[in-house]
């Protein structure tokens, strides 16, 4: 196997070395690290930055040119800033041995600590390690705090999942069938080194676009013939994959039926205690419109007692495209963020600990840079900082659904008043939304005038003054349905003076999960607590009034004088969520009277 060589931004040639590292039970993990070529004999010691991935640490090409490696630009940038990049294939993935009983199983979590210890002992590492990543590797960054070896000094990540079920797989109990199928197909193909499938669905491509060069997973250096790689892939044959479950809809209908017996969530009390005891600082970046990652980060901030810096901004999942309802244009063109700017944000957080940290002022540095939330207010284009969430200055403004599709601050006085809506199963949010960005798509905000014609909408008059909405809107609907179950989506939007409709945020709940639980939630939640458990299921009774209440994903936005606020209600999103059999297009009556009011609570600053 040829050794990877290229040059970093300081014009030093880079080499990438790969090898197996044995774990406590003998399972061997494949690991790669990037160094400067002129350090072959004398190596400078630097802090190491570790990524633990289940998406292949490296790809094999016909000519094996190092610049084709997806990790190369990041490795070069990190090395130029004084850090060594290390990437490990997680147990049961890539070139690593083992089988995956679940995503982020306890064995995988324990592996991360052992890899950190191994990295810290290498002659190119100064004994200090940070963990980093985006999406899955962001979650492994957080899980690295469970074992937290003494070498681990910091975590820096983008878009981790605190609660995969509530924030991604089945938000509000509505199964995200699109993501499960798409992600399952990709990871299943990766686990079997199925290059043709990965090329076909666009998840694997070289920088120059020549797919003929792609051969699959890159073996470690000692495995020149690929026999070890073949043996490792054979062990992946029985990997868990939710998309292969016989009936995913039924499996995910309730949170206590999910097939993750071998998976412990971050907010598991045992894990939480270990994370808090580690006291390792972590910086987390999330986009306002990236599934429920921002909601999870804010829950983590409020619940956990360890140094956290939460940064919420106008980004897609990968942080390389701007996601802003108010960006110029028609809302259908990506506004790319230079990748070196993305990397610089990570390095800035690394530098806080590794370049400005001294034993005498460590506590002061952590106190200064962590324990806060930085958030970007859309429409105002301004960054703000708080050490308390929700904001203490928040006041709740209640807007009621009223006659003539109006939203008003006046509570209904009439005993009569309702609107009939037949769910339109063709309604959707497109393929550039907060859910599709989880698979790499940019987030677009096209005019929703036409789409809203399929929905039930309520509007305020033009605003008389600017208002800032920052926090967690909560919607409360009193409904009657012809079905025993259903999907309820609420979209908070704004209407420009020229009539353009912009989506701000959204939320959802499955009808059978409507019970507001009086139990203690597993972590801090910012709206009505629905356990989503089978024991709390309450099917709708056709013709009877049901209370449907849920919070929308958090947002910070400044609306200007002259704009209007819209609440749009739907019963389907064909682009993401599979319909419930037998409940595809029910008739819904939304009550809006003195007996059964419907409204939305907005957190106004």
Q: Is 532 in contact with 252 (CB distance < 8 Å)? A: no
Q: Is 52 in contact with 90 (CB distance < 8 Å)? A: yes
- Which residue, among 264, 106, 259, 287, has the nearest Cα to 170 in the 3D structure? 259
Q: Kindly calculate the radius of gyration of the chain based on its CA atoms and give it in whole angstroms.
A: 25
| b/e burial code for range 412-439 (CB count within 10 A of at least 16 → b) | beeeebbbebebbbebbbbebbbbbbbb
CA 347 – CA 350 distance, rounded (Å): 5
Q: In the annotation, is 436 catalytic?
A: no
At residue 244, the 3 state secondary structure works out as helix
Q: Which of 290, 452, 485, 536 is catalytic?
A: 290
Taking the CA of residue 18 as centre, how many other CA atoms within 13 Å lie in the half-sphere pointing to its CB?
29
Residue 138: phi, psi to the nearest 5? Answer: -70, -40
Q: How many CB atoms lie within 10 A of CB 500?
A: 16
CA 545 – CA 413 distance, rounded (Å): 18
Using the structure block, give the residue that is written with the tokens 């995913």. Answer: 248
At residue 312, the 3 state secondary structure works out as strand
- Can you read off the two tokens belonging to residue 422? 């037949």
408: Cβ contacts below 8 Å, ≥ 6 apart: 399, 400, 402, 460
Q: Which of 167, 317, 436, 530 is catalytic?
A: 317
At residue 135, the 3 state secondary structure works out as coil
Using the structure block, give the residue that is written with the tokens 């892939």. Answer: 233
Burial of 369 (0-12, 13-18, 19+ CB in 10 A): middle
Q: Is 497 in contact with 568 (CB distance < 8 Å)? A: no
At residue 172, the 3 state secondary structure works out as helix
Q: In the annotation, is 167 catalytic?
A: no
Q: In the annotation, is 290 catalytic?
A: yes
Between strands 474-481 and 587-591, the pairing is antiparallel
Q: Which of 93, 96, 135, 203 is catalytic?
A: 135
Alpha helices in 279-397 (DSSP H): 293-303, 339-354, 362-369
CA 126 – CA 138 distance, rounded (Å): 23
Q: Is 163 in contact with 523 (CB distance < 8 Å)? A: yes
Strands of 46-53's sheet in order across: 4-7, 13-22, 28-36, 84-89, 46-53, 125-134, 152-158, 282-287, 308-313, 372-377, 382-386
Catalytic residue annotation:
135, 290, 317
């Amino acid at each position: 196997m040829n050794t990877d060589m290229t040059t970093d931004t300081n014009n030093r040639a880079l080499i990438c070395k790969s090898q197996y590292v044995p774990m406590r039970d003998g399972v061997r993990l494949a690991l790669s690290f990037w160094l400067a070529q002129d350090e072959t004999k004398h190596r400078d010691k630097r802090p190491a930055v570790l990524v633990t991935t289940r998406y292949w640490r490296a790809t094999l090409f016909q000519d094996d040119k190092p610049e084709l490696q997806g990790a190369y630009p990041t490795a070069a940038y990190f090395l130029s800033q004084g850090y060594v990049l290390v990437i490990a294939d997680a147990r049961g993935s890539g070139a690593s041995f083992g089988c995956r009983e679940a995503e982020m199983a306890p064995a995988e979590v324990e592996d991360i600590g052992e890899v950190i210890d191994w990295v810290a002992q290498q002659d190119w590492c100064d004994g200090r390690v940070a963990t980093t990543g985006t999406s899955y590797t962001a979650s492994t960054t957080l899980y690295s705090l469970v074992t937290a070896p003494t070498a681990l000094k910091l975590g820096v990540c983008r878009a981790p999942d605190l609660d995969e079920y509530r924030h991604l797989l089945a938000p509000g109990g509505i199964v995200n069938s699109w993501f499960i199928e798409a992600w399952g197909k990709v990871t299943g193909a990766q686990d079997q080194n199925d290059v043709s499938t990965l090329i076909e669905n666009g998840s694997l491509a070289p920088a120059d676009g020549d797919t003929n060069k792609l051969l699959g997973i890159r073996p470690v250096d000692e495995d020149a013939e690929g026999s070890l790689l073949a043996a490792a892939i054979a062990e992946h044959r029985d990997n868990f994959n939710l998309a292969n479950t016989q009936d995913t809809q039924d499996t995910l209908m309730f949170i206590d039926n999910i097939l993750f017996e071998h998976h412990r969530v971050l907010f598991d009390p045992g894990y939480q205690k270990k994370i808090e005891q580690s006291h390792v600082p972590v910086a987390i970046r999330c986009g306002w419109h990236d599934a429920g990652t921002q909601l999870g980060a804010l829950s983590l901030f409020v619940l956990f007692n360890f140094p956290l810096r939460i940064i919420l901004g106008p980004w897609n999942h990968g942080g390389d495209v701007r996601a802003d309802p108010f960006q110029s244009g028609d809302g259908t063109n990506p506004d790319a963020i230079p990748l070196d700017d993305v990397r610089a944000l990570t390095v800035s957080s690394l530098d806080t600990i590794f370049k400005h940290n001294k034993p005498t002022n460590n506590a002061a540095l952590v106190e200064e840079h962590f324990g806060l939330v930085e958030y970007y207010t859309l429409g105002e284009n301004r960054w703000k900082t708080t050490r308390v969430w929700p904001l203490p200055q928040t006041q709740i403004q209640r807007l009621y659904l009223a006659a003539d599709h109006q939203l008003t601050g006046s509570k209904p006085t009439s005993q009569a008043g309702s609107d009939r809506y037949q769910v339109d199963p063709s309604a959707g949010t497109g393929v550039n939304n907060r859910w599709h960005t989880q698979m790499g798509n940019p987030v677009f905000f096209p005019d929703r005038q036409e789409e809203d014609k399929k929905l039930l909408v309520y509007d305020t008059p033009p605003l008389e003054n600017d208002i800032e909405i920052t926090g967690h809107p909560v919607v409360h609907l009193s409904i009657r349905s012809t079905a025993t179950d259903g999907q309820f989506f609420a979209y908070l939007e704004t209407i420009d003076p020229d009539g353009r409709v912009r989506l701000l945020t959204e939320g959802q709940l499955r009808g059978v999960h409507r019970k507001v639980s009086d139990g203690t939630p597993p972590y801090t939640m910012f709206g009505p607590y629905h356990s989503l458990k089978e024991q709390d299921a309450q099917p709708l009774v056709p013709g009877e009034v049901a209370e449907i209440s849920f919070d929308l994903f958090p947002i910070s936005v400044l609306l200007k004088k002259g704009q209007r606020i819209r609440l749009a209600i739907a019963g389907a999103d064909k682009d993401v969520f599979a319909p419930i059999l037998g409940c595809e297009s029910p008739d819904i009556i939304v009550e809006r009277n003195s007996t059964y009011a419907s409204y939305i609570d907005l957190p106004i600053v």
